[in-house]
């Protein structure tokens, strides 16, 4: 009987440190990533000392200028906003719809009033105005 007594090298690669590093990188990128929820419109919102948080609105109106108004991310003008609001409210009860109106601090007051009128003519009475909280005390 012949015995083979040679020592064979056993190679085992431990993958635990590699998996730990990969999970650390995944967690780092998940935490450090930011996501924009707006359609990419930058507005300089006015500040308010009495601002309150509101629930999510079903209808969002963003006023950039007379020619650039977004109604639920649909581009229109101030003159055509009423038609787009009517289209967006199709199949909904207008009295139950909550709307949010965002306009820049430098937006003309007439633009804000005309958009509020367009919402009210379509039966939307609950309209919140978006503002930034004031950094200085009252």
Neighbours of 122 (CB within 10 A): 20
pLDDT one-digit tens code per residue, 49-82:
776 665 555 888 988 888 889 988 889 998 999 9
Residue ranges of domains in the chain, CATH in brackets: 47-133 (3.30.420.270)
Residues forming a β-bridge with 95:
none
Query: Above 70 in pLDDT, residue 132?
Result: yes
Q: Is 51 helix (H, G, I), strand (E, B) or coil?
A: coil
Contact 96, 57 (CB under 8 A): no
Entry pTM: 0.59
How does pLDDT run across 97-122, given as a tens digit for each residue? 888 898 888 888 899 999 999 999 98
Take residue 137 and report the two structure tokens written for it. Answer: 């005390």
Q: Is a pLDDT exceeding 60 seen at residue 39?
A: no
Q: 37 by DSSP, 3-state: which? A: coil
């Amino acid at each position: 009987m012949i015995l083979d007594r040679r020592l064979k090298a056993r190679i085992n690669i431990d993958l635990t440190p590699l998996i730990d590093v990969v999970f650390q990188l995944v967690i780092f990128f998940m935490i450090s990533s930011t996501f924009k929820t707006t359609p990419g419109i930058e507005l300089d919102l006015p500040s308010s000392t009495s601002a309150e948080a509101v629930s999510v609105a079903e209808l969002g109106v963003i006023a950039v200028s007379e020619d650039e108004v977004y109604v639920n991310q649909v581009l229109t003008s101030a003159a055509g906003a009423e038609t787009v609001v009517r289209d967006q409210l199709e199949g909904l009860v207008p009295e139950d719809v909550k709307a949010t109106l965002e306009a820049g601090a430098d937006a003309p007051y007439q633009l804000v009033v005309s958009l509020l009128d367009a919402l009210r003519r379509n039966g939307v009475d609950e309209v919140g105005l978006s503002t930034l909280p004031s950094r200085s005390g009252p």
